[in-house]
Amino acid sequence: MFISTRFLQMGALALALAGCASSGGTTAALNAPPTPSASPAAQKKAAQAPAPQPAAQSEDVPEPAVSERDIKRYAATLAAERGLDPARVQALLNSARYNATVARLIAPPAARPDGAKPQRSWPAYRQRFVEPIRIRAGVAFMAENAQALARAESRYGVPADIIAAIIGVETLYGKHMGNFRVLDALATLAFDYPDPKRPDRAEMFRTQLGDLIELSAKDGVDAASVRGSYAGAIGLPQFMPGSILRYAVDGNGDGKIDLINDVDDAIQSVANFLVEHGWQRGLPVFAPVRLPADPSGLVDGGLSPHLDWAGMQAAGAVQLGATPAEGAAIAAWQRAGLGVINLPDEPTDTVQYRTGTPNFFALTHYNRSYFYATSVSDLADALRDARLRRQAEAPR
């Protein structure tokens, strides 16, 4: 049975969300984590032990935040609202196990000893993903899966380089898909989220846990065994269960969706996800624009474009690299919504600015980060350049 390490501060939250199946949430029966006073070795041993009974609570220890009654009630609500077999739902929840490593990995980064927050650095972030190993692996991935990428580009209008870059950033082309049992990861984060100030995050993971259980019942995903990241993402493109339900597609027509072993399914699903989140065929990710000397006032920090080209011109923006032959393509992005984004390097107190089109903001729906979306775009550019160089150097 799950015993929260949050005790009283989580109790009211757990009760408030216990029946919130309309948002896809659920509860889980987890191995009881050790008490806060246990040694690290004891905590690790307890977290890995096979389903022990909870230790008796002493008089000075509060009641657990999530009770067996809450779990059963929530399982019944989830089953009723999603049309699932109640016994199967309860059995899956009963098999979930608390994972202390998951809780540790997703916890907010600790502040520096001097009390300052960790500093963000766009150049350091970019260097992790736009680097020689990932570029070489990406070129090889694209050569090996050229037909599938071409089909996706033709059907969805998402360039092959962008699709490959997402898979490269997410899992290094399948080398790092995660080895956590997704059921355990999602249950841990749903009901023992390590930051009690973020109940919204716990509720989000409840929703994803419900999505995983629905996938298990309807789409053949084995929720009891499927493995993924410590946050519950699955497969080559690292889709969360809710994204698999809503956006994953059968890329090769074999009647099933397998994002772990079937590269074609993964490629088509990435393209479909982007289109469903606003990707527009033929637009670049970044508009060819020179911004005014201080464009900070044009940045709103949101995940959708809020500017237009006329307004940007009025603020001092200038179109770059235009020729008469480019007129049609330029007109396309000029008619689209635009947004100026900031990419800070706090250690040097500098900021890079770029002008994103709707396609940039479609990438932010994959990961709500300007750093992430820009890294995908830059890796895609690097893959394209590397492929063109290879073609130019090939013997004729």
Question: By the 8 A CB rule, do 147 and 169 touch?
Answer: no
Tallying the residues shown for the chain, one arrives at 396
Among residues 37, 270, 75, 76, the alpha carbon closest in space to that of 166 is found at 270
Q: Taking the domains of the chain in order of start, what are their residue ranges?
A: 8-50+62-98+180-218, 286-356
Residue with tokens 């098999």: 95
Give me 65's structure tokens: 């935040």
State which amino acid sits at residue 307: L
Strands (E), 160-221: 180-181
Give me 350's structure tokens: 């500098």
Question: By the 8 A CB rule, do 104 and 230 touch?
Answer: no
Among residues 157, 129, 158, 161, the alpha carbon closest in space to that of 142 is found at 161
Mean pLDDT per 10-residue run, the chain (396 residues)? 34 30 30 30 38 34 52 85 92 91 89 75 98 98 98 98 98 98 94 88 93 90 95 98 97 94 98 98 96 96 95 95 54 93 97 98 97 98 95 80
Question: By the 8 A CB rule, do 241 and 251 touch?
Answer: no
Whether 170 is a known active-site residue: answer yes
Position 219 scores a pLDDT of: 79
Cα–Cα distance, 40 to 44 (Å, whole number): 6
Position 75 scores a pLDDT of: 87
Q: Which of 153, 170, 203, 214 is catalytic?
A: 170
The whole-model pTM stands at 0.81
Phi, psi angles (nearest 5°) of residue 351: -140, 135
Cα–Cα distance, 384 to 390 (Å, whole number): 10
Position 118 scores a pLDDT of: 85
